[in-house]
Structure 1
Amino acid sequence: MKNLLSKKLGLLLPLTLALTGCVSNSQNPEPSSAAVPEEMEVSESHDTGLPFDFEVEPEEFTLSFEVEQTLITTAAKGERRTVLDYGKVGDTVSWRYPYEQISVSLSPEKDYLSVEITSENENDNSFTWPVISADTYYFPFGEGKRVPADDPAWFDYLNGQEFQVMEQLSMPFWISSAGSYNLLFVMEDPYRTEMNFTSDSPIAFSVSHQFPAIDDNRTNKFRIYITDKDPVSAAKLYRNYVIEQGQFTTLEQKAEANPNIRKLYGAPFIYLWGDFAVSADDINWQAFRTSLSSPVMEYFLSFAGRLENGQEFTSVLKEIQGQDYVAEYQKNVICSYISQLLKRDDFWEPSVFTQRSSELEVLLAKGYGSLSETDRIQVHKYAVASNLPEVFADAGQWMDSQTVTLLQEMKEGGIEHAWIGLNSWEQAYGKPELVETAVSQDYLIASYDSYHSIHEPGREQWITAQFDDPSLYENAVITDQNGKPESGFQNVGRKLNPALSLPAVKNRMETIMSSQLPFNSWFIDCDATGEIYDDYTPSHITTQEEDLAARLERMSYIRDQYHLVIGSEGGNDFAASDIAYAHGIELKTFAWMDEDMKRNQDSDYYIGKYYNPNGGVAEHFSNRIPVKEQYRTTFVDPKYDIPLFKLIYNDSVITSYHWDWSTFKIKGATADRMIREILYNVPPLYHLDAVEWSKYKEDILCHQTVWSDFSQTAVTREMTGFEYKSEDGSVQKTVFGGDGEAAAVAVANFGDSSYQYENIEIPAHSVLIEMNGSREVYTPSLDPEHV
């Protein structure tokens, strides 16, 4: 990495050392013979060979660098404080703030200035520094954002915001412009660190750090680098820092332990939906109407009082007795009800299901009581189909149109590799052929899983919040300093302490994997989002550091114990060595910020319900919606994007969108998102069932041909270059690889007019691809309804 740094446009600027220090006047009563007299300057020559000149004024903790006789303000004026014990040992400057019980030291290192802020108080303490003001910022908000300080949309978004660094930044640094240079601030201890954006325009912010009594680490550290104006220089310094810390692992290194990781290369991310165990296509509805008085149908009705839609099912049966047809709504109610029945442990009744198919006999020969949950559901399916053969198709083919057939069509269409995500493992229990087919086609297939929320035993609202050990709800949850349990997702239930979760993780995974379903991937929600906690429960006090370590431990356990390709929501870089893929870096969820998106079902902006009456893709994921202009600027408009995460981790973690915001989700943005997927090497993300596949099939397959070829070349290479080719950011260029190998290059034009690049014209909303000695201009060709 040293050789790479030395080539990067003069990354490190040779400076010498100069110091300035001031203390407060005598209005503060606490004397110290070590205090520096007011306005005293230290400007003696230091032949240290270190590349820094800096000036610090401790009283307001301002910090400046001098570069070629130009003074660059690094940290602006903060709160005025009393200063004691100002001194210098070697090249290290230090002092104390006695009333805050804080000590500070500044030390020039090889290519950065180290700032250490230490709490001398063993109780809870906090300190705010630095105060930052600049013309332009580059923040690792997800992939990365260029934020002009005077931009009104960004000001409206950031105004008054208090961002927790671990959660809101994908990597703990920021870059701020300073004249002809950039400053890179790396937060080495980002836990309990908050960025507080002011209400003043232009945009400015301060950084505060909490020192809780429960944490033994009392020192907060920053590294400050000066680079040239190119933000790529700063990104590469951070990559070098991560490597220095021993925290960087390439995809190919991960693939040495699990070659299945290579199935992610050139693979789209596809959530495949189908919550029913039987679909309307699997039922002869005319025969269904004439069999309502059969023993099996009467048995179905006997459960009506115990099922969620039992009353609705009963009403529908009465309705269709007087009809010569079955309406779509009625079919959905019946399929939903029967699907719930088939998943019940108490459904099997030999006296009702007297007819036995060969498949049923084989399953029962194992002994019903010893069957896995998967096999029990298959028993139930074959029992129903065997005893009502005129009504139900062969049970082995139930849901094929939503699962097996759809996967086969994807493969035949040219999707060689894909990541398939299921809403839960129960989806696979109902249709094991789905998992088997995916694996046989060289696809990865994973279930959604989560250990974040825990619900009151017996009142669980979703399966991942249900745990076999009922004592966890009282004895293993996170409480705040006031002894109040932290609320779970959507304020339901509580949050499980990760440090106490591993036995539950092992128990759940052992149960799922005992079904013999050949899962080869897994998705663990929340663990890489940075939403971490200090737990003040007296019996199991846990710090944020311990919380995060436990999350990484449980993900690694799932990965290693079951040889699975794992990913997580978010994908912040503390998890980069542990996961292979991440959903959320490229576009985080933001619907919660706006009432129209979140709750107003009459609004065009409403994201949609978590529900589909036919068990397919919920409208939350299938509804295409516009995005309000203020959110379009800050979350969607590619002109403000900068691939900070890819410049550091392109060859380490494969990143895509939060599942709320699939490739087709945003009206008017699809083409730009597709060319960005090439420019930044981002896998498309889709939500599919038979209906959605039919709707988007041609667009998906056309895009896959171009995107996948590029991605397979780019994915294992470092992103070595990025630049804005137009001042407004509407034309961007990325470079993957080089330095001895032919680079893969993309130049994307997000603008409304064509752009001349060298001797090639790139039309509006198109991308030029240079790879393997050839050039191609790609303009997504979309159904007009999908633009």
Structure 2
Amino acid sequence: MSLLIPVPQRCALLSLLLATIAGSPQAAEIALSDGEQAVTLDPQTLSIDWNNVQINQATLRIGGKTQTVTELRQSAAQQASWTLMPARVRVRASLDQTLSLTFAIDDTVTIARDQPVTLAWFDLPHQATRTLYLPFSEGMRVPTDHPVWAQYLQQHHSGANTTQNLKMPFWTTRQGDTFISYHLVTATNNQLTFTEAAEGPTGVQAQNQAQNEKPQLDMQASHQFTPLNRSQDFVVRISLGDNPLSGAKQYRQWRAGHHQAQPLAAKLQHNPALKKLIGASQVYLFGKDVLAVQDVKDWWGLKNWIMSHPELTLSKEATQELGNLKQGQDWLSRYHKQLLVNSLNTALNQLFPAEPVQLNNNTIESQFNAAQLRKLWLSNQAGRYLTPPDSWGQGLASSMITNLQAAGLSKLWLGLDNWMPAFYQPQVVDQAKSAGYLVATYDSYNTAIPAGLNDGWLTAQLPGEMRTGCAIKQANGTKKKGFRGHGFYLNPNCQRGYVEQRIRDITRFGHFDSLFLDVDATAMAREDYRDGTSEQQMLHAFNDRMQWIADSTSMVLGSEDGNSLTTRGIAFAHGLETVGFGWSDPDMRNNRQSPYYLGRWYPDHRPDFFFQPAKVKAPYQTLLFAPQFRIPLYQAVFHDEVINSHHWHSDSLKFSNVRTERDLIGMLYNTPAMVHLSREDAASPDSPRIKALRHYQDGYLPLHRALWDQPLVDFRWLDDEGWLQQTTFDDGSRVIANFSGQARRYQQQTVPPQSIIATLSDGEVIRWQSQPNL
């Protein structure tokens, strides 16, 4: 009978028998086999080799302690199980095309809520690993011997979780021509750590190596068992592949097999309005008040009128600056005109306020009525100084839509950062929809702040019962502070009825056919000890809320990031093609003399932060934007499911010294541009920002019309330096991008500098060149 047992199994069983006879606590290595696949695994340290490829270094610790192995069983060539002591963690390993590891903590183990049990299970085989492929943002390609990358990951991503920080719960490594991918099926309660490899040779050998070799980036991963997730097994799937997208393709296949994929084609069948999103560039319209400077036709008349109306409360600055100006003696500068309009808008808001928010009254109707009263009162009182009231508006005006159409822009998603512009001019929303555009408002239910703190932040104006009663309670008993430390973050499974009614009311009064729901799709999973919500349950609550919107309303739904764990119901997302960076960098945040300064959050109708061009400083310019370090991991999973673009902090025109790289990456990956507009930016069909939109449409619209429902199936460099790159889609369409400043040849065709050539499956050829000075 022994002859029927495979040789690796006989060796493992013999070693186990000898160890048992000797009474040794040290377990033998386990040999798993499946056809030509052979895995050797040390159950005590979790050192793993697969077909002579090192998968994991010997590192396993639980609660910081090494473990011994008991109850080791291997009844088949593909499976084994054992228990780690003293932690009492049960482990199962199985090999079936992929290597699956499952860890479960025994029910008898006591876990205090502020003292989780940490399983340190992964340590990168750094000496054998050449490259890391990480889904931070769209996808990062990280050479492990690159010192700047090593420093950046240690400073900015060490301690990252695998729900919000890692945009998809896997990573891929390269050893030679083999690509090893690690998929965390249990994506919650994990942490990644990046360090510089410490071990190595000593003495003279180390000195010689230090002169000839670069330090190696190292990476570790751990999982925490807590009182709220202890019944959930921790599961990891490890697979081998032959190209950098192997892990993404494995993950895509897994999502489809677990009924998590929602293709855009299926969403379109449910909501025909989604057709407007295909080929549409993304546009945010800024300005939230009723009146813009373009709406004034008699400045001195308006100035004298406002100063003579005591019911209009003006600021001290406005009173001093405007009060002494005399017609015929002084002149109204651009500053004075903007101050006058801002003061009038503020006074109107104070004269006709909306009702206070209550749990049984979201005041959306009150806000709409207040908007109409302000507009009617101003027209009656000061109409002779102004253009007709139906033409008014900062963030939304009929002239803007007319000029967008006149420019030949046929497909746009128009987003408002505040629903009030639509409440002032709902007929303009209808005009935009008739023009073929989607019109959306920003909304959010994740931070609640008290009244008076920032009343202009409408989405955070939630009832006190929600602010305190739905606040997430952390393991230490404190409530989780909200965005930028204001108010509290809320549990999405709390007061759903209020949320649903407010969304219905915003849609009805604003006439919107799209909604951008901030934060819900970022996979911001937290444990909530207020009601015992685990991280996994919180992700489910986010998904359920978004799916309800998609199912119960006619709006095309989008959200921030579109992290893979929270994509239910969404058709688009903003955030992965350019993520936020340098948040604490003084040159970017505070130094107004720096070329890297992002700008003030002023003026309200056109904040410098969003409109003022800036340069990207080192090392971000290289690490985050050089095409050699980018890889379309997210698009390989989601191209035909979620249309992703930039974070709204960084539209396509924001960064002057990486604009070409961003333009070409967008065309190569087939993702839309984003351009911010204010009323003054849309004053003419030939204004610079509208011309830029028209240029982006020339390339993106025909490409996306052909490829929106096609998976991205291949990515490769066509030269050794990565200046010439190609993506391939499921129907055979190919896009080649030349990032260099010189024309380059590939297979009988010349690709001009800083341009793309797309060859579609029907033979159509699309050529497009970045024009950063447009």
Q: TM-score, normalised by structure 1?
A: 0.86
Residue among 674, 677, 685 paired with 2:674: 685
Q: 1:473 corresponds to which residue?
A: 467
Q: Does 2:625 align with 1:640? A: no
For residues 244-301 of structure 1, give each alpha carbon's deviation from its aligned partner in whole angstroms, at most 9, with x where no partner exists: 1111111010011101111111100000112231122222344426743xxx7543x3
Q: 1:617 corresponds to which residue?
A: 606
Matched residue SS, 1:558: helix
Q: Does 2:325 align with 1:312? A: no
Q: 2:349 corresponds to which residue?
A: 343
Q: 2:220 corresponds to which residue?
A: 206
Q: Which amino acid aligns with 2:691?
A: E
Q: Is the 8 A contact 1:19 1:56 kept in 2?
A: no
Matched residue SS, 1:59: coil
Q: Is the 8 A contact 1:21 1:56 kept in 2?
A: no
Q: 1:139 corresponds to which residue?
A: 134
**Comparing 591-600 and 573-582, the one that deviates more:** 591-600
**Comparing 575-584 and 264-273, the one that deviates more:** 575-584
Identity %: 25
Partner Cα separation in structure 1 for residue 110 and residue 767 of structure 2: 62
Q: CA deviation at 1:215?
A: 2.1
Q: 1:363 corresponds to which residue?
A: none
Q: Which amino acid aligns with 1:319?
A: N
Q: Which amino acid aligns with 1:125?
A: V
Matched residue SS, 2:525: coil
Partner Cα separation in structure 2 for residue 117 and residue 753 of structure 1: 53
Matched residue SS, 1:709: helix
Q: Which amino acid aligns with 2:385?
A: V
Q: 2:262 corresponds to which residue?
A: 249
Matched residue SS, 1:176: strand
Q: Is the 8 A contact 2:714 2:727 kept in 1?
A: yes
Distance 1:468 1:108, change over 3 A: closer
**Matches for 1:504-653 after TM superposition, within 5 Å:** 504-515=498-509, 517-537=510-530, 540-612=531-603, 615-653=604-642
Q: Which amino acid aligns with 2:154?
A: N
Q: 1:780 corresponds to which residue?
A: 770
Mark the runs of 5 or more structure 1 residues left unpaired by the alignment: 1-14, 349-368
Partner Cα separation in structure 1 for residue 265 and residue 24 of structure 2: 55
Residue among 281, 292, 297 paired with 1:268: 281
Matched residue SS, 1:95: strand
**Comparing 416-425 and 97-106, the one that deviates more:** 97-106
Q: 2:339 corresponds to which residue?
A: 333
Q: CA deviation at 1:19?
A: 7.6
Q: Is the 8 A contact 2:29 2:42 kept in 1?
A: no
**Matches for 1:424-503 after TM superposition, within 5 Å:** 424-503=418-497
**Matches for 1:36-55 after TM superposition, within 5 Å:** 38=26, 40=28, 50=35, 52-55=37-40
Matched residue SS, 1:163: coil
Q: 1:721 corresponds to which residue?
A: 714
Q: Which amino acid aligns with 2:375?
A: K
Q: 2:79 corresponds to which residue?
A: 92
Q: Is the 8 A contact 2:539 2:566 kept in 1?
A: no
Q: CA deviation at 1:18?
A: 8.6
Mark the runs of 5 or more structure 2 residues left unpaired by the alignment: 1-6, 61-65, 198-214, 355-362
Partner Cα separation in structure 2 for residue 32 and residue 585 of structure 1: 53
Partner Cα separation in structure 1 for residue 542 and residue 351 of structure 2: 32
Residue among 223, 235, 253 paired with 1:221: 235
Q: Is the 8 A contact 2:132 2:142 kept in 1?
A: yes
Distance 1:22 1:379, change over 3 A: farther
Q: CA deviation at 1:199?
A: 2.9
Q: 1:181 corresponds to which residue?
A: 178
Q: Which amino acid aligns with 2:650?
A: W
Q: 2:57 corresponds to which residue?
A: 76
CA RMSD of aligned residues (A): 2.8
Distance 1:407 1:23, change over 3 A: farther
Q: 1:416 corresponds to which residue?
A: 410
**Matches for 1:695-714 after TM superposition, within 5 Å:** 695-714=688-707
Q: Is the 8 A contact 1:140 1:174 kept in 2?
A: yes
Partner Cα separation in structure 1 for residue 292 and residue 68 of structure 2: 73
Partner Cα separation in structure 2 for residue 157 and residue 575 of structure 1: 27
Q: CA deviation at 1:690?
A: 3.5
Distance 1:557 1:219, change over 3 A: same
Distance 1:451 1:51, change over 3 A: farther
Q: How many residues align?
A: 719
Partner Cα separation in structure 2 for residue 59 and residue 100 of structure 1: 12
Distance 1:483 1:721, change over 3 A: same
Partner Cα separation in structure 2 for residue 280 and residue 253 of structure 1: 45
Matched residue SS, 1:89: strand
Distance 1:35 1:223, change over 3 A: farther
Residue among 107, 111, 134 paired with 2:94: 107
Distance 1:106 1:268, change over 3 A: same
Q: TM-score, normalised by structure 2?
A: 0.87
Partner Cα separation in structure 2 for residue 533 and residue 336 of structure 1: 40
Q: Which amino acid aligns with 1:74?
A: I
Distance 1:525 1:347, change over 3 A: closer
Matched residue SS, 1:380: helix
Partner Cα separation in structure 1 for residue 13 and residue 140 of structure 2: 36
Partner Cα separation in structure 1 for residue 386 and residue 48 of structure 2: 76
**Matches for 1:392-411 after TM superposition, within 5 Å:** 392-399=386-393, 403-411=397-405
Distance 1:234 1:22, change over 3 A: farther
Distance 1:483 1:710, change over 3 A: same
Q: 1:128 corresponds to which residue?
A: 120
Partner Cα separation in structure 1 for residue 598 and residue 270 of structure 2: 40
Partner Cα separation in structure 2 for residue 125 and residue 575 of structure 1: 26
Q: Which amino acid aligns with 2:339?
A: V
Matched residue SS, 1:573: coil
Matched residue SS, 1:174: strand
Partner Cα separation in structure 2 for residue 511 and residue 89 of structure 1: 61
Q: Is the 8 A contact 2:558 2:570 kept in 1?
A: yes
For residues 504-561 of structure 1, give each alpha carbon's deviation from its aligned partner in whole angstroms, at most 9, with x where no partner exists: 312322432342x320000011111122210122xx2211112111112222223332
Partner Cα separation in structure 2 for residue 23 and residue 530 of structure 1: 45
Q: CA deviation at 1:237?
A: 1.9
Q: Which amino acid aligns with 2:700?
A: W
Partner Cα separation in structure 2 for residue 18 and residue 644 of structure 1: 41
Partner Cα separation in structure 1 for residue 130 and residue 39 of structure 2: 21
Partner Cα separation in structure 2 for residue 597 and residue 316 of structure 1: 32
Partner Cα separation in structure 2 for residue 18 and residue 303 of structure 1: 91
**Comparing 678-687 and 86-95, the one that deviates more:** 86-95
Matched residue SS, 1:388: helix
Partner Cα separation in structure 1 for residue 35 and residue 569 of structure 2: 36
Q: CA deviation at 1:186?
A: 0.8
Matched residue SS, 1:499: coil
Matched residue SS, 1:129: strand
Q: Which amino acid aligns with 1:761?
A: T
Matched residue SS, 2:529: coil
Distance 1:34 1:574, change over 3 A: farther
